[in-house]
Amino acid sequence: MIPIPEVDLGGILPALVLCVGGLIVMVAGSFIPKRAVAFSAIVSLVAVLVAFAVNSPLRMMNRQAFSGLISLDPYSWFCNVLLLIAAGITVLTSVRYLTDDGQELYEYFALLLFATAGMMFMVSANHILVIFIGLETLSISVYVLAGLMPTSPKSREAGLKYLILGGFSSAIFLYGAAFLYGVAGSLSLPAIAKVLQTGAGGKTALVGMGLLLVGFSFKVAAVPFHMWTPDVYEGAPTPLTGYMSVAVKAAAFAVFVRVFFAALGPLQVDWTQILWVLAVLTMVLGNVAALVQNNIKRMLAYSSIAHAGYLIVGMVAGKEAGTSAMLYYLLAYTFTNLGAFGVVALVGRKGEANVMLDDYRGLAASNPVLALAMSIFLFSLAGIPPTAGFMGKFTIFYAAVKAGYIWLVIIGVLTSAVSVFYYFRVVMKMYMEVPEKTPAALQFGPAMILALGIAAVGVMYIGIFPTTYLDLATESVKTLF
Amino acid sequence: MNGYLPILFIFLVATFIGAAIIVLSTLLSRKNWTPIKLMPYECGMDPIGSARRRFPVRFFVIGMLFIVFDIELIFLFPWATIYDKLMIFGFVEMLIFVLVLLVGLVYVWKKGALEWQ
């Protein structure tokens, strides 16, 4: 008899639900001649909601499944919730965009669901190979999604660029994993930690750690591995750009944290120094480069690089305070950035014709509610109270001060002051300036209104009542240490 | 040195078989040359002409499908050898795997990837 490992589908059920949803979209979409996008969007939303429901038991679990390959713990639960929120809002913001030019690109939703499922495997993985499989499932789906728009050469360029650089970073990641395997004789995270604790490995372990760090830095777009970000974010379909800047980043950071604290914890002294430098570079370059952008998608791309810098500050701060602050920050960032990109998709109109900063002139006069929502998102990105972005930055910087990184926090606060300029420039354009000629009226769909409403309410709610969510984040990271 | 004797043997046998095939086919075959048959083999394309010519890359879709089903076989063979030990568990697992592949096939079929115009 062959020993069959215990199969615990309950733990990976959320990801499985998304996979099944994706398969349904793929088959049904090709048999429905009309309204395939609307149908696929509904199926995707149902899949996300069901996954949300079956995800909740994970919060109470703290065990491993599939012979230690997957860990079911509150950390996985929190990250899954984050990814599902991102996927749900992205589905809502994408509907209009995909039907605009008369093409029924229903595959978008299947790929979106597969990407989310890959991320969920990634964040709950307890073994570097499972992480890699999740990473590839996610990356391959997103490469295709970025290049999906058939009529846009920019989209194709974005897809190809992302494919090549993403492939490189995956290879570097695997190379690092190979070094760690050489040291520990296993790729399971606890096993690596156990070997490193004895002080074995020496230089080889450091090389492996460094290569993994480069791989992750590519995925989270940390300077100096950020080159692909502005071009890919600019070329990809706008709702997808929001998804990439939120969900892909959140999943990459979640795994980054799990691998570096759970497996490479004994090397913390070494990698903290590197991350310190990375955080400073990322915050400075992201914010300064965003100052000179005229295209709002590029501006938000550099802003998302800067936000990766703030998140790395959380990793430098380390332990429970830093990582729980990161989770809260990611939650705040999810609502904020998806909302902002939703507005960009809406104002961009058909074929992304209006994505320059000047296209926002006079928006407050023609669409006051939309301008208010955009202002809330931009305030939150800049970190102005009482939005969620403020609480996120506050908790991260507080954790860093507590851990003794005063200079890092000073640089962080200074760069974040710089960022206020470019966020407020958009607000100024919306409220103070008048457009040269009146642009065509915006076409709101019910899905877009719902998405922007959820995002705006989310930003305000978790900003004004942060305690519950901060406690949840703190509770979630407990099992990591 | 003794251990390498079989390798030498294989080398000799392989040389003999290769030579025999070429010699025999030259001696025994009927020769009916046409210009197309005499062309150097270039994967079905005209070997003489501009190298920058455009050509349809339909073949890549078939190539990708081939890889997908090739990988299915890689899974199926080991599974089949221990099928009696895996029992119903193995059966269901493989059924799910094949079903997922089938969805992919239905999708590309509907998209017209199998039509070679």
Q: Omega of the bond prior to A386 within 30 degrees of 0, cis? A: yes
Residue A449, CA distances (Å) to A322, A339, A377 in order: 35, 10, 15
pTM of the model: 0.88
Q: Could A31 and B85 be called an inter-chain contact, meaning their C-beta atoms sit closer than 8 Å?
A: no
Output the pLDDT for position A180. 93
Domain definitions of chain B by residue range: 2-111
Output the pLDDT for position A439. 77
Output the pLDDT for position A303. 95
3-state secondary structure of A318: coil
Is residue A4 situated within a structural domain? Answer: no
- The number of CA neighbours under 13 Å toward the Cβ of A462 is 27
Q: From the CB of residue B75, how many other CB atoms can be counted at a distance below 10 Å?
A: 14
Output the pLDDT for position A96. 86
Is residue A2 situated within a structural domain? Answer: no
Using CA atoms, how far apart are residues A129 and A122, in angstroms rounded to an integer?
Answer: 10
User: What's the pLDDT tens digit per position in B31-78?
Assistant: 888 888 888 877 766 777 777 777 667 777 788 888 888 888 888 898
Q: Could B103 and A27 be called an inter-chain contact, meaning their C-beta atoms sit closer than 8 Å?
A: yes
List residues in chain A touching B: CB distance below 8 A. 1-2, 4, 7, 23, 26-27, 30-31
Mutate to test the interface with A, among B67, B82, B94, B103 (most CBs of A within 10 A): B103
Cβ contacts (< 8 Å) between A26 and chain B: which residues?
103-104, 107
Weakest mean pLDDT among A140-144, A359-363, A424-428: A359-363
Is residue A378 situated within a structural domain? Answer: yes
Residue A428, CA distances (Å) to A287, A312, A378, A423 in order: 18, 30, 11, 9
The range of the structural domain enclosing residue A107 comes to: 9-480
Assigned fold of B2-111? Methane Monooxygenase Hydroxylase; Chain G, domain 1 (1.20.58)
B50 conformational bin, left if phi > 0, alpha if psi -120 to 50, beta if neither: beta
Using CA atoms, how far apart are residues A287 and A293, in angstroms rounded to an integer?
Answer: 11
Is residue A1 situated within a structural domain? Answer: no
User: What's the pLDDT tens digit per position in A306-348?
Assistant: 999 999 999 999 888 999 999 999 999 999 999 999 999 999 8
Domain count along chain A: 1
- Over residues A283-299, the mean pLDDT reads 94
Mutate to test the interface with B, among A18, A23, A103 (most CBs of B within 10 A): A23
Element spanning A190, H or E: helix A189-197
Nearest CA in chain B to A28: B107
Cβ contacts (< 8 Å) between B98 and chain A: which residues?
none
Cβ contacts (< 8 Å) between B107 and chain A: which residues?
26-27, 30
Alpha-carbon gap: B43 to the closest alpha carbon of chain A (Å): 27
What are the residues whose beta carbons fall under 8 Å from the beta carbon of A220, sequence distance 6 or more?
A249, A252, A253, A256, A308, A311, A312
The beta-carbon neighbor of A27 closest among B82, B86, B106 is B106
Is residue A382 situated within a structural domain? Answer: yes
User: What's the pLDDT tens digit per position in A81-106?
Assistant: 999 999 999 999 998 888 876 677 88
Is residue A3 situated within a structural domain? Answer: no
> Percent of chain A scored above 70 by pLDDT?
98
Collect contacts of A265-272 with beta carbons under 8 A, ≥24 apart.
A265/A193, A265/A196, A266/A193, A266/A196, A266/A197, A266/A199, A267/A196, A267/A205, A267/A206, A267/A209, A268/A318, A270/A206, A270/A209, A271/A209, A271/A213, A272/A316, A272/A318
Output the pLDDT for position A1. 54
**For residue A3, what pLDDT band results from cuts at 50, 70 and 90?**
low
Is residue A196 situated within a structural domain? Answer: yes
Q: Quick one: tokens of A319?
A: 């332990």
The beta-carbon neighbor of A30 closest among B89, B100, B110 is B110
Quote the ipTM score.
0.77
